[in-house]
């Protein structure tokens, strides 16, 4: 999206634009190109410049500068990463399709198909307008990331485009400044970080902070300038000490002092609720050495000079960040108690830290790609996987925003492989990171050889082993503690499919019952009737109609009457059954049991369809439904228990007993002896001679419950026992 408006063209350009004078900006850009490109490539790039300059002739930016200055600035940013000629030509041409009548085919004929594809990809991104409406923003963001997944150079050009627009953002209206700055901070800056483009990431953050919160920016900037004066002597002393000490230890190094970025200081103040005076480590040093062994030698020399702060050492060389970043980080206590952060890296690591995936750009053969670019490609492909499993654009945006922030927890598989995970990740996140099927089937985990709950948060250095079951069974509760976008997306996708299957099965039962009530055998409905029903209702399939019935979005009686409207009705045998919907209890989310009465097999039951929830089952004597059954009898249907049930049911019982030592253990043993599991147990807070014990136990039916209660009654200390049907 452009930060400035353009003068619209009055007509299209179909002929080749004539040569235009070469501007000073392009001359500076060309000097950079001579450092790494062949003369013939530079000639092609200059031809693209001439073409773009003629296409944008007469257009100006809001600042008054000729519009061609913007594409040249974008290409110049990309040239610092030594991008290939196709990307640079696309940068110079990235607005011509949007602003003129020039089409993709014409660009392809003149500058090659690759360049045309890149221009087309960026042009589509330029048309994206992030609206305040969440769904529209999410859909646009989805399109942008999928374009990036096809060719990462598209987003590199777009990031350079956004950077130049942010540098000239002061020319637009204040309200537009804030909107563009917020977009940049929430979306473009994290993408730059995820791709390892550190210099762009920091600059986008600083410029966004400047335009979003100009007063806060000014205050912190003033404070940093003042602190710079107060601490100049200390910082200079530390810098000179490091420069002197390293050569004494035989270590050749470049040492640079640096200030923390203003947005980084502001974010630390907000997150940790600190005042500026409490943010002590606003200065840092960067030590650049020749190779990896020297990095560790330099670390030892620095720790001998100044005491390190415990817990503040991070080795990103042995375990790189997800975006390829490598360095040793340590915090030292300098003179006068000043904490100082030091980063130690090689020159190559420094280059990658600044340019990320764009460093040493290789575009000839797939097998020539660097390991960093392979990792980036893998992440981009994972976006396509998220797209396939996400229910909608808003869900896709939620998943991807999580993954845009690199992981900071590193754990080990049982075979010793290192895996990076976002901070706060759990064992379930780890299982899905290994493989989707492992995630679906995980039932337990061992962390550092000890059995631990699946919700356990992982810590640096943990060894994690996942224990799996034969059949997949993700739980809805996992969504409350998983951290990664992949895990959240896959769990939701599985549960959604499971709900659709269960709802379809329930809908079929309800429709069969409705057909029987009007005297029609379910098997008598033929394909033409279903086709008419789908056409009239706008449904895509028979299954969709059955799902809607199961979820309460359509009434089974209405669907039944529409289906037989033009069909021959076969007579129904009066002895075919009761007509009640049969409940096994294993239907899952499509059938729910009322918490107001907690029905179990053996209880007389009745059902009600609630929109979006499916079938809700209550006991006949449930107090919560008494009024509704009398006032709205048409909303209730007969249901009955299947003789072949497929699950255990939770029931709550209260045991009143004498308050004696060991009574809880006796009751628990009695429940176990009766073949029941205890789900939960609690006790009355007020205890005198007697106390109340509350149990949630699993039983198969009322007969099983009676057996459990008889077992408990045999205990001498038990005074009374009763079943609790409500949560109150």
- Could you write out the DSSP letters of every residue in 303-368? HHHSEEPTT--EETTTS--TT----EEEEEE-GGG-EEEEEEEEHHHHHHHHHGGGTT---S-GGG
Looking at the chain, the domain(s) classified CATH 1.10.3210.10 span 24-214
Amino acid 417: pLDDT: 80
Amino acid 377: pLDDT: 62
Amino acid 207: pLDDT: 93
Task: Inform me whether the pLDDT recorded for 574 exceeds 60.
Answer: no
User: Would you place residue 298 in the very low, low, confident or very high pLDDT band (cuts 50, 70, 90)?
Assistant: very high
Q: How far apart, in Å, are the Cα atoms of 244 and each of 85, 241, 437, 686?
A: 44, 5, 56, 72
d(CA 316, CA 314): 6
Classify domain 649-724 by CATH number.
3.30.70.260
Average pLDDT over residues 169-197: 84
Least confident of 12-21, 213-222, 333-342, 663-672: 12-21
Amino acid 424: pLDDT: 84
User: Would you place residue 612 in the very low, low, confident or very high pLDDT band (cuts 50, 70, 90)?
Assistant: low
Write out the DSSP string of 207-248. Answer: HHHHHH-HHHHHHHHHHHHHHHHHHHHHHHHHHHHHHHHHHH
Average pLDDT over residues 393-402: 58
Separation of CA 389 from chain center: 12
Task: Inform me whether the pLDDT recorded for 578 exceeds 50.
Answer: no
Looking at the chain, the domain(s) classified CATH 3.30.460.10 span 220-358
Average pLDDT over residues 321-331: 83
Amino acid 156: pLDDT: 86
User: Would you place residue 573 in the very low, low, confident or very high pLDDT band (cuts 50, 70, 90)?
Assistant: very low
Amino acid 569: pLDDT: 41
Amino acid 636: pLDDT: 80
User: Would you place residue 704 in the very low, low, confident or very high pLDDT band (cuts 50, 70, 90)?
Assistant: very high
Amino acid 634: pLDDT: 66
Amino acid 490: pLDDT: 85
Q: How far apart, in Å, are the Cα atoms of 504 and each of 550, 553, 589, 663?
A: 6, 12, 12, 48
CATH of the domain spanning 24-214, picked from 3.40.190.290, 1.10.3720.10, 1.10.3210.10, 3.20.20.210: 1.10.3210.10
d(CA 197, CA 321): 13
98 is catalytic: yes
Tell me 602's DSSP state: T
Phi, psi of 51 (to 5 degrees): -65, -45
Least confident of 372-386, 478-492, 597-611, 685-699: 372-386
Pairing of strands 328-333, 314-315: antiparallel
Task: Inform me whether the pLDDT recorded for 5 exceeds 50.
Answer: no
d(CA 147, CA 124): 9
What's the mean pLDDT when you consider all of the chain?
78
- Which among 41, 84, 98, 221 is annotated as catalytic? 98
Task: Inform me whether the pLDDT recorded for 148 exceeds 80.
Answer: no
Amino acid 139: pLDDT: 60
Looking at the chain, the domain(s) classified CATH 3.30.70.260 span 649-724
Give the distance between the most distant pair of CA atoms in the chain. Answer: 105
User: Which helix (DSSP H) or strand (DSSP E) does residue 174 occupy?
Assistant: helix 174-183
Amino acid 577: pLDDT: 44
Helix 214-248 to helix 262-272 angle (10° resolution) is 110
User: Would you place residue 564 in the very low, low, confident or very high pLDDT band (cuts 50, 70, 90)?
Assistant: confident
Say if residues 471 and 495 touch (Cβ distance below 8 Å): no
3-state secondary structure of 723: strand
Amino acid 708: pLDDT: 93
**pTM recorded for the entire structure:** 0.56
d(CA 78, CA 59): 23
d(CA 169, CA 189): 16
What sign does the CA torsion over 204, 208, 214, 217 have? Answer: negative
Q: Strand (E) positions, 533-613?
A: 581-583, 591-593, 605-610
User: Which pLDDT tens digit goes with each residue over 40-54?
Assistant: 999 999 999 998 888
User: Which pLDDT tens digit goes with each residue over 463-482?
Assistant: 899 999 888 888 878 888 88
99 is catalytic: yes
Task: Inform me whether the pLDDT recorded for 444 exceeds 50.
Answer: yes
Classify domain 220-358 by CATH number.
3.30.460.10
Amino acid 586: pLDDT: 54
CA atoms within 13 A on the CB side of 69: 18
User: Which helix (DSSP H) or strand (DSSP E) does residue 111 occupy?
Assistant: helix 104-111
What is the percentage of the chain residues whose pLDDT exceeds 70?
A: 78
Amino acid 146: pLDDT: 67
Least confident of 156-160, 189-193, 292-296: 189-193
Task: Inform me whether the pLDDT recorded for 637 exceeds 90.
Answer: no
Q: Which residues contact 727 (CB under 8 A, 6 or more apart)?
A: 595, 596
Q: What share of the chain is helix, strand, coil (3-state, %, to 5)?
A: 50, 15, 30
Radius of gyration of the chain, Cα coordinates, nearest whole angstrom: 34
Amino acid 580: pLDDT: 64
List the one residue out of 286, 271, 339 whose CA is nearest residue 310. 339
User: Which pLDDT tens digit goes with each residue over 415-442?
Assistant: 878 787 877 889 999 999 888 899 999 9
Average pLDDT over residues 172-177: 86
Let me know how many helices (H) and strands (E) the chain has, helices first: 27, 20
Q: Strand (E) positions, 84-164?
A: none
- Which among 99, 120, 139, 183 is annotated as catalytic? 99
Amino acid 208: pLDDT: 93
């Amino acid at each position: 999206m452009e930060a400035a408006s353009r003068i619209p063209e009055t007509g299209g350009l179909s002929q080749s634009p004539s040569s235009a004078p070469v501007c000073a900006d392009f001359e500076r850009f060309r000097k950079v190109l001579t450092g790494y490109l062949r003369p013939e490539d530079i000639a092609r790039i200059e031809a693209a410049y001439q073409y773009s300059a003629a296409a944008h002739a007469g257009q100006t930016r809001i600042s008054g500068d000729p519009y061609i200055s913007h594409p040249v600035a974008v290409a110049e940013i990309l040239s610092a990463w030594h991008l290939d000629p196709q990307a640079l030509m696309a940068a110079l041409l990235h607005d011509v399709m949007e602003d003129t009548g020039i089409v993709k085919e014409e660009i392809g004929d003149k500058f090659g198909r690759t360049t045309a594809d890149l221009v087309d990809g960026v042009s589509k991104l330029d048309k994206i307008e992030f609206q305040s409406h969440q769904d529209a923003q999410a859909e646009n963001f989805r399109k942008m990331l999928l374009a990036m997944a096809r060719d990462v150079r598209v987003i590199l050009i777009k990031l350079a485009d956004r950077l130049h627009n942010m540098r000239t953002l002061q020319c637009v209206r204040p309200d537009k400044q804030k909107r563009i700055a917020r977009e940049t901070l929430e979306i473009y800056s994290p993408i730059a970080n995820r791709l390892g483009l550190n210099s762009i990431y920091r600059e986008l953050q600083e410029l966004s902070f400047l335009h979003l919160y100009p007063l806060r920016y000014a205050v912190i900037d003033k404070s940093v300038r003042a602190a710079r004066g107060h601490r100049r002597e200390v910082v200079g002393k530390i810098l000179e000490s490091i420069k002197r000490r390293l050569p004494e230890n035989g270590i050749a190094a470049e040492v640079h002092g640096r200030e923390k970025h203003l947005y980084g200081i502001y974010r630390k103040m907000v997150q940790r609720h600190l005042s500026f005076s409490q943010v002590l480590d606003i200065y840092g040093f960067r030590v650049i050495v020749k190779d990896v062994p020297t990095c560790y030698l330099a670390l030892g020399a620095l720790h001998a000079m100044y005491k390190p702060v415990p817990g503040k050492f991070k080795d990103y060389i042995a375990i790189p960040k997800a975006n390829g970043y490598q360095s040793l980080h340590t915090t030292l206590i300098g003179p006068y108690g000043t904490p100082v952060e030091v980063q130690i890296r090689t020159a190559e690591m420094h280059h990658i830290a600044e340019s990320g995936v764009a460093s040493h750009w290789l575009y000839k053969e797939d097998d020539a790609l660097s390991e960093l670019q392979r990792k980036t490609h893998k992440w981009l492909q994972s976006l396509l996987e998220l797209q396939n499993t996400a229910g909608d654009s808003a869900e896709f945006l939620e998943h991807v925003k999580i993954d845009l922030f690199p992981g900071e927890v590193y754990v080990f598989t049982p075979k010793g492989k290192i895996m990076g995970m976002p901070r706060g990740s759990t064992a379930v996140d780890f299982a899905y990171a290994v493989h989707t099927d492992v995630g679906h089937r995980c039932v337990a985990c061992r962390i550092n050889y000890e059995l631990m709950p699946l919700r356990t948060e992982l810590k640096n250095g943990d060894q994690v082993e996942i224990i799996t079951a034969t059949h997949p069974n993700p739980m809805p509760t996992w969504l409350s503690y998983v951290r990664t976008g992949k895990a959240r997306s896959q769990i939701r996708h599985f549960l959604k499919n499971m709900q659709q299957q269960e709802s379809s099965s329930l809908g079929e039962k309800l429709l069969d019952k409705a057909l029987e009530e009007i005297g029609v055998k379910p098997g008598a409905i033929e394909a033409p009737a279903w086709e008419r029903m789908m056409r009239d209702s706008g449904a895509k399939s028979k299954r969709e109609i059955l799902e809607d019935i199961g979820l309460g979005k359509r009434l089974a009686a209405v669907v039944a009457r529409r289906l037989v409207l033009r069909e021959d009705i076969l007579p129904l045998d009066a002895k075919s059954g009761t007509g009640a919907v049969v409940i096994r209890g294993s239907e899952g989310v499509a059938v729910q049991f009322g918490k107001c009465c907690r029905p179990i097999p053996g209880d007389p039951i009745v059902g009600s369809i609630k929109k979006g929830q499916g079938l809700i089952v209550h006991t006949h004597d449930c107090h919560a439904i008494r009024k509704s059954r009398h006032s709205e009898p048409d909303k209730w249907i007969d249901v009955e228990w299947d003789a072949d049930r497929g699950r255990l049911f939770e029931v709550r019982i209260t045991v009143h007993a004498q308050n004696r030592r060991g009574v809880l253990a006796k009751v628990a043993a009695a429940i176990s002896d009766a073949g029941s599991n205890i789900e939960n147990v609690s006790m009355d807070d007020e205890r005198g001679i007697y106390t109340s014990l509350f149990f949630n136990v699993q039983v198969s039916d009322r007969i099983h419950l009676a057996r459990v209660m008889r077992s408990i009654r045999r205990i001498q200390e038990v005074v009374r026992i009763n079943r609790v049907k409500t949560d109150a």
